[in-house]
């Protein structure tokens, strides 16, 4: 009996609910922590970034007007599907980050739990960060959190799954849509996460995942006039951080600065959710 | 470069006069036109669409495309206010950049012509009006002619008429011919000048490329100044292969008679990339003489914003967004 042929993998990007190749036609080799070849991944270009922003903008209207309760359900569903692929994620995280099997398991479980945790916040955020304001007049006065729009996320380079999930979930739970540039050296968990997103009720375009170099695509996203916020979690080079912040200032993007050495396993606060919110205040006359 | 689809028509202007002398000769002439090789036309259009136009060439192409836009609003919900806003946009498409050229014309329904005229004044932007019971053309000839005269009296520089597709498809070519001639006469102004006549075929309803070629020749022989693909109300609207067939027709018509006729694809052209594909095709099929707003137009509304976004991207080096341009 003949030997089975090896299935060699060249992964694609995830844009607008579809899996296109990079517009540039480029790909790069992904290796494990020891330098052994794992797979080929598409290397996204600035034009892929542009397409992803277009897809995210298109998805924003539908996603942001869903009820928070429904968004929570969708996020929980993502956690369910991710849990179903636990073995695959453990293998990829273990190979990518060079972790022992048990440590990789802990990391994948933490990522699932993180999704569940954020899913629970979907319909509670408004009570915590919004509220009724006392005013000196015959009005009801409410402050309500609104999503800010399209968020560009330059995902953590080291924590390939937990860090990724911990940056995407807080952005989309409140109704934002995202363009994510994954870890360059460790993109496999991000690629599998895009397969999870595609099969778990998340509308196409809400999460767009590009594999490639954040230093190459980042400046185009930071200066893009149709991007509303920027998460610099994965950028370590201080000069690049400054350049990106300068570019982002042009249309007053909300910028979440990098926090080097962030412990992604620690319980997150509300900070990553509230960073991408606008506050809308409504005055309503009493008695009409 | 010539292909199997080019019409090797040796008709001189004398032959054309004879062709239009009777119903039978008109039919004989139109059915004697060489058939369009459908596969060849589609392959050639697709091939021309793969040209890469970058940097300075792209800048020129975008500015030319802006100058060729017939900024169009043809909705039941149009108001004088909307037409005024659109006319202002036509004169200064990008208020943030004075170097941005004007569009060619504003295209509206006849009752909206006075409002467009009033806003555009002598800015050089033309007022185009659809007429002849647009978009279906299903009204008596008297009504269609009155519609045309109305538009011209109200100050339209250009009239976009629709042909009677029912008559064309059932082979009553003489009727279609006579109607175009009649509308052309209705375009005349008292001072002896005339509004430019664009003839809309609604290629989405003509079914074959052969019909598109016949309609093109029919309209040109009847005296059309422009031939236009579609109303924008029927899908498919303008496509590259249909426009290719029409561009070949105007090229061959000039060879036969020395007269130039313009081409206007309309409907479904939404991105700069699409527009540039059309420009490449104009240059390669009809020739560079047609690369001018006098001889080639885009009937579009959302195309302009995409052109402006691309233009801004090229000027500033960063991607622009729809928030910075008007909704229309």
Position B216 pLDDT exceeds 80: yes
Using a CB-CB distance cutoff of 8 angstroms, which residues of chain A are in contact with residue B315?
Answer: none
Active site residue ranges of B: 160, 228, 264
Among B7-11, B60-64, B162-166, the least confident range: B7-11
Task: Indicate the residue of B319, B320, B323 with minimum beta-carbon distance to A220.
Answer: B319
CB B290 within 8 Å of CB B254: no
Q: What is the pLDDT of residue A1?
A: 66
SS3 per-residue string spanning chain B: CCCCCCCCCCCCHHHHHHHCCCHHHHHHHHHHCCCCCHHHHHHHHHHHCCCCCCHHHHHHHHHHHHHCEEEECCCCCCCHHHHHHHHHHHHCCCCCCCCCCCCCEEEECHHHHHHHHHHHCCCCCEEEEECCCCCCCCCCHHHHHHHHHHHHHCCCCEEEEECCHHHHHCCCHHHHHHHHHHHHHHCECCCCCECEEEEECCHHHCCCHHHHHHHHHHHHHCCCCEEECCCCCCCCCCCHHHHHHHHHHHHHHHHHHCCCCEEECECCCCCHHHHHHHHHHHHHHHCHHHCCCCCECEEECHHHHHHHHHHHHHHHCCCCCHHHCCCC
Interface with chain B: mutation pick from A177, A223, A226, A243, highest number of B CBs within 10 Å: A226
Position B10 pLDDT exceeds 70: no
Q: Is A220 on the interface with B (CB under 8 A)?
A: yes
Q: What is the pLDDT of residue B15?
A: 79
| Chain A nearest C-alpha distance from B295 (Å) | 33
Taking the C-alpha atoms of residue B328 and residue B326, their distance in angstroms, rounded to an integer, is: 6
Using a CB-CB distance cutoff of 8 angstroms, which residues of chain B are in contact with residue A224?
Answer: 318-319, 321
Using a CB-CB distance cutoff of 8 angstroms, which residues of chain B are in contact with residue A53?
Answer: 319
Q: What is the pLDDT of residue B253?
A: 96
- Average pLDDT in the B165-169 region? 95
Using a CB-CB distance cutoff of 8 angstroms, which residues of chain B are in contact with residue A227?
Answer: 321
Q: Is A225 on the interface with B (CB under 8 A)?
A: yes
Q: Is the ipTM of this complex over 0.90?
A: no
Taking the C-alpha atoms of residue A104 and residue A283, their distance in angstroms, rounded to an integer, is: 50
CA distances from A151 to A76, A114, A167, A198, A277 (A): 21, 19, 10, 19, 11
Taking the C-alpha atoms of residue A229 and residue B269, their distance in angstroms, rounded to an integer, is: 31
Q: Do B321 and A247 touch (CB under 8 A)?
A: no
| Chain A nearest C-alpha distance from B311 (Å) | 14
Chain B, nearest residue to A50 by Cα: B319
Position B324 pLDDT exceeds 50: yes
Q: What is the pLDDT along chain A (288 residues), one digit of tens a residue?
A: 688 998 888 999 999 999 999 999 999 999 999 999 999 999 999 999 999 999 999 999 999 999 999 999 999 999 999 999 999 999 999 999 999 999 999 999 999 999 999 999 999 999 999 999 999 999 999 999 999 999 999 999 999 999 999 999 999 999 999 999 999 999 999 999 999 999 999 999 999 999 999 999 999 999 999 999 999 999 999 999 999 999 999 999 999 998 788 899 999 999 999 999 999 999 999 986
Domain boundaries, chain A: 47-285
* Tens of pLDDT, residues B142-157: 999 999 999 999 999 9
Q: Do A57 and B323 touch (CB under 8 A)?
A: no
CA distances from B184 to A4, A238, B18, B153, B260 (A): 74, 69, 20, 14, 17
- Average pLDDT in the B149-172 region? 95
Position B8 pLDDT exceeds 50: no
Position B2 pLDDT exceeds 50: no
Position B249 pLDDT exceeds 90: yes
Q: Which residues of A54-87 are buried (b: 16+ CB within 10 A; e: fewer)?
A: bbbbebbeebbebebeebbbbbbbbbebbbebee
Please say whether the structural domain A47-285 has been given the CATH code 3.40.50.980.
Answer: no
Q: Do A247 and B320 touch (CB under 8 A)?
A: no
Q: Do A53 and B320 touch (CB under 8 A)?
A: no
Q: What is the pLDDT of residue B7?
A: 44
CB A248 within 8 Å of CB A149: no
- Average pLDDT in the B65-82 region? 96
Q: Do B322 and A223 touch (CB under 8 A)?
A: no
Interface with chain A: mutation pick from B315, B321, B322, B325, highest number of A CBs within 10 Å: B321
* B288 confidence band (pLDDT: 50, 70, 90): very high
Q: Between residues 269 and 328 of chain B, which touch chain A (CB distance below 8 Å)?
A: 317-324
Among A115-124, B15-24, B30-39, the least confident range: B15-24
CB B94 within 8 Å of CB B308: yes
| Chain B nearest C-alpha distance from A171 (Å) | 21
Q: Do A225 and B321 touch (CB under 8 A)?
A: yes
Q: Is B54 on the interface with A (CB under 8 A)?
A: no
Q: Do A220 and B324 touch (CB under 8 A)?
A: no
Nearest to A206 by CA among A62, A90, A80: A62
Domains, chain B, ordered by start: 13-315 (3.20.20.70)
Q: What is the pLDDT of residue B3?
A: 39
Q: What is the pLDDT of residue B75?
A: 94
Q: What is the pLDDT of residue B16?
A: 86
Position B328 pLDDT exceeds 80: no
Would you call A39 helix, strand, or coil by DSSP? strand
Position B6 pLDDT exceeds 60: no
* Beta bridge partners of residue B298, listed in sequence order: B69
Q: What is the pLDDT of residue A6?
A: 85
User: What is the CB neighbour count within 10 angstroms for residue B182?
Assistant: 17
CB B275 within 8 Å of CB B298: yes
Q: What is the pLDDT of residue A249?
A: 97
Position B202 pLDDT exceeds 70: yes
Taking the C-alpha atoms of residue A135 and residue A132, their distance in angstroms, rounded to an integer, is: 9
Q: Do A225 and B320 touch (CB under 8 A)?
A: yes
- Average pLDDT in the B192-201 region? 96
Residue showing tokens 């190459």 = A216
| Chain A nearest C-alpha distance from B185 (Å) | 48
The pair of three-digit structure tokens given for residue A126, joined into one six-digit string: 């408004």
């Amino acid at each position: 009996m003949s030997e089975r042929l090896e299935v060699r993998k060249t992964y694609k990007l995830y844009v607008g609910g579809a899996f296109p190749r990079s517009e540039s036609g480029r790909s790069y080799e992904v290796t494990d922590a020891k330098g052994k070849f794992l797979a080929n991944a598409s290397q996204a270009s600035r034009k892929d970034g542009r397409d992803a922003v277009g897809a995210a903008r298109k998805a924003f209207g539908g996603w942001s007007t869903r009820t928070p309760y429904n968004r929570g359900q969708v996020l929980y569903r993502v956690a369910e599907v991710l849990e179903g692929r636990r073995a695959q994620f453990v293998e990829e995280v273990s190979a990518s980050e060079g972790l022992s099997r048990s440590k990789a398991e802990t990391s994948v479980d933490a990522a699932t739990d993180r999704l569940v945790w954020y899913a629970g916040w979907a319909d509670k955020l408004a009570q915590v960060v919004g509220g009724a304001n006392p005013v000196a007049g015959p009005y009801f006065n409410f402050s309500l959190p609104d999503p800010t729009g399209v968020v560009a996320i330059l995902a953590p380079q080291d924590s390939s799954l937990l860090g990724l999930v911990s940056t995407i979930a807080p952005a989309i739970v409140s109704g934002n849509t995202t363009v994510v540039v994954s870890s360059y050296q460790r993109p496999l968990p991000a690629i599998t996460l895009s397969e999870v997103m595609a099969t778990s009720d998340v509308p196409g375009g809400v999460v767009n995942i590009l594999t490639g170099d954040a230093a190459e695509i980042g400046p185009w996203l930071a200066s893009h006039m149709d991007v509303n916020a920027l998460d610099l979690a994965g950028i370590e080079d201080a000069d690049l951080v400054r350049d990106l912040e300068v570019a982002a200032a042009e249309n007053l993007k909300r910028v979440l600065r990098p926090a080097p050495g962030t412990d992604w396993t620690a319980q997150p606060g509300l900070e990553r959710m509230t960073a991408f919110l606008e506050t809308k205040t409504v005055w309503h006359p009493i008695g009409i | 470069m010539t292909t199997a689809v080019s019409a090797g028509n040796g008709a001189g202007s004398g032959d054309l006069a004879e062709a239009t002398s009777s119903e039978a000769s008109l039919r004989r002439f139109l059915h004697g036109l060489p058939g369009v090789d459908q596969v060849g036309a589609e392959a050639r259009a697709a091939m021309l669409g793969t040209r890469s136009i970058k940097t300075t060439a792209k800048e020129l192409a975008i500015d030319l495309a802006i100058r060729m836009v017939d900024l169009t609003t043809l909705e039941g919900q149009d108001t004088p206010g909307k037409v005024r806003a659109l006319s202002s946009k036509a004169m200064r498409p990008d208020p943030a950049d004075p170097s941005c050229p004007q569009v060619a014309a504003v295209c509206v329904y006849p009752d909206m012509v006075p409002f467009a005229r009033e806003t555009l004044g002598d800015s050089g932007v033309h007022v185009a009006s659809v007429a002849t019971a647009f978009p279906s053309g299903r009204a008596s000839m008297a009504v269609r002619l009155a519609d045309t005269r109305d538009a011209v009296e109200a100050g339209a520089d250009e009239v976009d008429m629709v042909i009677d597709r029912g008559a064309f498809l059932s082979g009553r070519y003489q009727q279609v011919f006579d109607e175009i001639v009649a509308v052309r006469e209705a375009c005349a102004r008292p001072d002896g000048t005339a509004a430019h006549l664009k003839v809309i075929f609604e290629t989405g309803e003509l079914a074959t490329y052969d019909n598109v070629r016949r309609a093109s020749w029919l309209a040109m022989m009847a005296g059309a100044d422009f031939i236009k693909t579609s109303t924008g109300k029927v899908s498919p609207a303008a496509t590259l292969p249909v426009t290719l067939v029409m561009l070949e027709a105007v090229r061959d018509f000039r060879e036969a008679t020395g007269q130039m006729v313009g081409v206007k694809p309309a409907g479904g052209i939404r991105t700069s990339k699409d527009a540039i594909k059309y420009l490449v095709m104009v240059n390669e099929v009809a020739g560079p003489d047609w690369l001018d707003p006098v001889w080639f137009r885009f009937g579009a509304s959302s195309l302009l914003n995409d052109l402006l976004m691309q233009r801004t991207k090229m000027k500033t080096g960063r991607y622009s967004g729809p928030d910075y341009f008007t909704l229309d």
